[in-house]
Structure formats: C-alpha cells, structure tokens
Amino acid sequence: MADIIQLLPDHVANQIAAGEVVQRPASVVKELLENAIDANAGCIKLIVKDGGKTLIQVVDDGIGMSTTDARLSFERHATSKIRNAEDLFSLNTKGFRGEALASIAAIAHVEMQTRPHEEELGTALKIAGSKVLSQEVCSSPEGTSIAVKNLFFNIPARRNFLKSDQVELRHITDEFHRVALAHPGVQLHFYHNGNELFNLPKVKQRRRIVNIFGVRMDEKLVPVEEETQVARIGGYICKPQFAKKSRGEQFFFVNNRFIKSPYLHHAVVAAFEGLIKPDTFPGYFLFLEVDPSSIDINIHPTKTEIKFNDEHSLYAILRATVKHSLGQFSVSPVLDFERDQNLDTPYAFKDKQASQPRVSVDAGFNPFKTDSSSFQSAAFREKKSAKGWENMYVGLESGQKEQAFSSVQFESDPSSTALFEADTDLSESAVTTLQIRRKYILTTIKSGLLIIDQGRAHQRVLYERFLRSITVKETVSQQLLFPLVLSFSKPEISVINEIREPLSQLGFIFDTVEGEDVRISGVPPMVPESEIGIVLDQLISDWQDGINESGFSQSDILCKTLAKTLAVKTGELLDNNSQLALVNDLFGCKESKVSPFNKPIFVTIPESDIDKKFI
C-alpha cells in the first residue's frame, strides 16, 4: 500500500488549533486583554464593533515588542513567558502557551502596531489567515495595539454560528469584567460601536467592584480576609439578604486568574447555609493566592477550571473564612463555629413574629348554673378543663401538625393568597381540593384522582396571562403611589433598554432610565411593590444568562421569567379558595398539561387503579 500520511500545512494546523482557542469574539477579547496585562500595561482600551464580529481592538501602554518579536509572536508555540517545563510550576503570567496570537491570525484579519519603550519607531504588521500581508516601520505610541477584524472570515460555518451582536457583546462584557475585577490597579476603557460602556480608573478592589456593578453594590459587600499556609483569601461576599435567584455575581480568582470551581462554590454556599433561601445564590468576589506550584492550570487553553493539590483543605478554609466574615459583620447569627446548629433559626422562620398561643374557653360555661349539687358541678368543671388542655396538644401531634403551623405567618402567604381571586360560584361548587405538603393540590375528577403541582400550574396560568397582555396589547398596569427609583449597573441598564418595549407591554411603566437610575411608576398587577427590584433583577439576569439564545421570541422569554418569578412555590400554603381558583384557572388555559418550561403539571390516578390496590 502506498504511503498516505501527510503532515498538515501550518495554516491548516493553525486553523484547527484556532478552533480550540477561539470559540467566539469573547475568546479573542480574553486573550488580548490578558496579553496586555502580561505586558505590564497601566492603561488598556478595548474597542469593539458589532459584538466583536467586525472589530476587536486592544490598545495597551505595556512593554511593546521589538520587530523580530512582533513577527515571532504570531508563530505557534512562540512565547516569552516560559522557557522550559519547570517554568510551568511557577507561572506568574496569564499566558504561557504561545498559541493565542497564532490562532487568532489564522481565522481573522489582524493588524498590529507595537513599539517598545526604548525604541523610537515601532512595527506595523498585517496578517490574514496566517499569511503576513505586510510589515512596515511605523511611528506609534509606546505599547501595543492589536486589531482583529472579520473574525472567522475564512470559516463561514463558524461565523454563521455566532449569536446576535447583543449576545456576543454580553460574553465579551463578562470577560472584560473578569479581567477588570482581577486588576483594579489597571485603568480600563471599553467602547462598543463608539459608545463608552466602561471607564474604570485605577482604584482599590472594592471601588472597582462598585464601579463595575453600580453604586448599589457598595452596601452589599462584606470583606473577607484570611491567611493560612495553604492560601491567602481576600475579597468580598454579598450579604445574605442580597442573594439572587440566578447566578451571575460569583467570581473566584486564583492568583488573579478567573476560575470556575463548582467545588469551591459549594464551600461558599455551605457557609451561607440557613441564611439564604435554598434556591438562591450568594454573590461573591473572592481572591485566592496560592503557591503557583500547588495548582495546575494546564488543562485546556480556554477552560477556566484548575486543579488544586490540596482541594479539601481549601474547601474547609474557605467555608470557615466566609462563615467568619458573615459572623463578624453581624450579618449572621452564627458567631461560634462550635455552636449547636439545631439552635439556629431556619430561614423560613427568620423575622417571623412569635404567634400568641390561643386558649379556647368554653363560652357556654355558666358558673351560676347549678344543675345538681355544687360539689358535683365543681368536679365536672375540673374534668372539663383538664380535657381542654389535652385538646390543645392534640393539634400539635401527628397528622394535624400542618394546621398548627398555619398560625405562623409565612412571608409569602399574603401575596400568594391574594394572587388568586377565587370565583365565588366555584368555591360553592362541588369541587373539593386538598393541598398536600404545600406542594401539590389534590382534587377529584370523574375518572379518579388528579394531583397538580401547584408551582407549575401557577406558572402556566401566569405565563398565558402575560402572553395575552403582550400579544393582544391589553396591558394592565398597577400605578404606584410613589414612583420607585432603583439603581442598576451599566450592563443592567443596557439590558433594560433592550427589553424596555416588551416590559412596558407587560405593565412596567418606566418614567426615566438615566445613568444608573430607573424611575418606575407602574408595574404589572401581579407584582408586589416590595418585589419590584427582585423581579427586575431576575428579568435582567435571565436575559443576561442567555436564555435568549434558545431561539424563543423576546416576549416569550420575558413572560416565562415573570411567570417563574411570580408563581407560588413549593412550600407556600394556599387557602381553599386559592386552591380552587388555581385549578379553575389552570383548566381555563390553552395548554394545561405542561408548564412553560415543558414539565408536566399534573398526573391522574384512575379510579380503576385505586380499585386494583384494594383487591
């Protein structure tokens, strides 16, 4: 057989490698920003057009490159950051693979200008699809400017695969945040289509966080600090009351490199245990410094996971440190690590008023009424009161526990019951319902039993209601007595502007959206005033989390998010009228079988199946 194996030409190899390094414009932004940081820049400008599809440019005032280095920097495995394998264990730089520039140049038009401090003239270089088009001497400022144009111009399939400009911009913004948070000492500018999105001066860490996420963030932060042999931990956590239903403001940095670590995330969440609702996530900005030789970041060019030698100790230290901070700033009732956890108030009972025990008296008792001898009557009385005490305990035992607890006011009780306006004729009808485990509603149908998931049913009802108000344009809005001013970070404001139109169709009335402030004078009827901020946060973060990449329409996504946020949850007590109304509303829906998220809403158990069990 003839030989068939060939070495791939360089430009093909580069294109293949590029697939690993560059997934989307944000990957280019990450590589270029990191190179600028590695070059000791004091000021970095990021200039982006059309979500990075047309242009991504990073201009720095770092050390620059000589003419030879400028040319070499685009070769694969060309790096100034390591010389031998041992260097991998003492890394202080972001880059070390020497792959980024070669990969980017394989799939885009790249223009570089660079000048080192000691030289008078710089070098200008143009490369497209790994081919050097021109190299010239030029006059340029100190530092380096790299412009990446028409990403994936030679791989149409990849280019078509890119999402909308908005989505790509959001990914870019995420990368920008990560670099900006890790390097508060570096001045950063970020422009998109000519608009300045961020202008971050050189500041201390806390200021940097606030400058990125808005003034509202300042009051949320609690400092964290600990030094141990395994690691130095610094940074901030957000107070438990600001925990959000969606992820977003969770940042881990190890030796100033952003990483994702579900394991360490768990350690932080564990420290918050009992202080936040189970389905919420605390915000944190945590900076770990460890000996570079104790970690392995060499897993994948773009992956943000890293391996720690001593992960278990790190987990324990992190958890204790965060707990300690929560305690120290008296945001947590737990000050003593040894304390019996059984004594801590569970979240659901936090801030609840103690309910007064009710003593029932025998209203019919008449002390002057003597039926036979006075002696007898006294004995009877005694017996009766003793029985009365017994009765008080009966309620607390066994099956009736649920009822005894219903005297405790739950935070969500008033709103959830008010959500359903029971049709009077329905409550008088023969339908009976029963709530089980504050989770399901049980009712009978002709053929047997029907068990409804209360949360999903309500999501469906609300979802269809919101959809109607958007599509039929029969917007109903509840006017606020006093307009509410809420502040948001810049990226959040831009999302609000993006979705302002459909939001107003849903009933949100925005008087003004200016700077970081949003003035709201009306909201959809179902939104309690106290929750407007939470609801908007949720809408924004779902939007940012890229639910909108799913291909659904904008308004559909908003309706889903609103329905999810406002629907009753498992654990909420519904009175009888609310249960009936919910069942009624559900079966008035166009689709009553599945929730807006495609989960089954109810199950039926046919009578014949029940009969079979009794054979």
Residue ranges binding ligand ADP (CB under 6 A): 31, 35-36, 39, 60, 62-65, 73, 78-81, 95-101, 144
The minimum distance between CB 508 and Mg ion, in angstroms, equals 44
Residue 72 or 334 with smaller CB distance to ligand ADP: 72
62 binds, among Mg ion, ligand ADP, none (CB under 5 to 8 A by kind): ligand ADP
Closest contact distance (angstroms) between CB of 105 and ligand ADP is 9
In the complex, the smallest distance separating the C-beta of residue 127 from ligand ADP, rounded to whole angstroms, is 12
Nearer to ligand ADP, 94 or 265 (CB): 94
Our CA angle for 223, 226, 227, nearest 5°, is 150
Is 275 a binding residue for Mg ion by CB under 5 A? The answer is no
CA distances to 392, 607, 608, 609, 611 from 614, rounded to whole Å, are 36, 11, 10, 9, 5
- Alpha-carbon gap, residue 595 to 169, rounded angstroms: 31
Query: Which of Mg ion, ligand ADP, none lies near 144, with the C-beta cut-off 5 to 8 A by kind?
Result: ligand ADP
Binding residues among 13-42 for Mg ion as defined by CB under 5 A:
35
Look at the alpha carbons of 351, 352, 353, 357 in this order and tell me if their dihedral is positive or negative.
negative
Smallest distance from ligand ADP to CB 308, Å: 22
Q: What letters, b where the CB count within 10 A reaches 16 and e where it falls short, cover 576-590? A: ebbbbbbbbbbeeee
* 248 lines the binding site for Mg ion (CB under 5 A): no
At which residue do the structure tokens 């040894």 appear? 338
Indicate whether 240 belongs to the interface with Mg ion (CB under 5 A): no
- Number of C-beta neighbours around residue 239 at 10 A: 19
Q: For the window 91-120, what string marks contact with Mg ion as x by the rule CB under 5 A?
A: ----x----x--------------------
Q: Which does 282 bind (CB under 5 to 8 A by kind): Mg ion, ligand ADP, none?
A: none
CB of 67 to ligand ADP, least distance (A): 13
To Mg ion, the closest distance from the beta carbon of 150 in angstroms equals: 21
Q: Phi, psi at residue 114, to the nearest 5°?
A: -150, 145
Nearer to ligand ADP, 4 or 85 (CB): 85
Which one of Mg ion, ligand ADP, none is in contact with 140 (Cβ closer than 5 to 8 A by kind)? none
Residue of 587, 539, 497 lying closest to 244 (CA atoms): 539
Q: How far is the CB of 173 from ligand ADP (least distance, A)?
A: 21
221, amino acid identity: L
Write down the least CB distance from residue 70 to Mg ion, Å: 14
Residue nearest to Mg ion (CB): 95
CA-CA distance, 302 to 510, in Å (whole number)?
A: 40
> What is the distance, to the nearest Å, from the Cα of residue 102 to the centroid of all Cα atoms in its chain?
34
**Nearest residue to ligand ADP on Cβ basis:** 95
Contact 239, 331 (CB under 8 A): yes
Nearer residue to Mg ion within complex by CB, 148 or 314 = 148
Residue number with CB closer to ligand ADP (33 or 586): 33
79 binds, among ligand ADP, Mg ion, none (CB under 5 to 8 A by kind): ligand ADP
CA distance 48 to 174: 14
Q: Which is nearer to Mg ion, 105 or 503 (CB)?
A: 105
Shortest Å distance, C-beta 124 to ligand ADP: 14
Rounded to the nearest whole angstrom, what is the least distance from the CB of residue 328 to ligand ADP in the complex?
Answer: 40
Taking phi first (over 0 means left), then psi (-120 to 50 degrees means alpha), and beta for anything else, what does residue 209 get? alpha
Query: Could you say which of ligand ADP, Mg ion, none residue 43 binds, taking C-beta under 5 to 8 angstroms by partner kind?
Result: none
136/123 Cα distance (integer angstroms): 6
CA atoms within 13 A on the CB side of 518: 24
The footprint of Mg ion on this chain (CB under 5 A) covers a number of residues equal to: 3
How deeply is 213 buried, as exposed, middle or buried, from its count of CB atoms within 10 A (0-12, 13-18, 19+)? Answer: buried
Maximum distance among all alpha carbons in the chain? 123
Q: How many residues does the chain have?
A: 615
Give the residue with the Cβ less far from ligand ADP, 93 or 504.
Answer: 93
> Which positions lie near Mg ion, rule CB under 5 A?
35, 95, 100
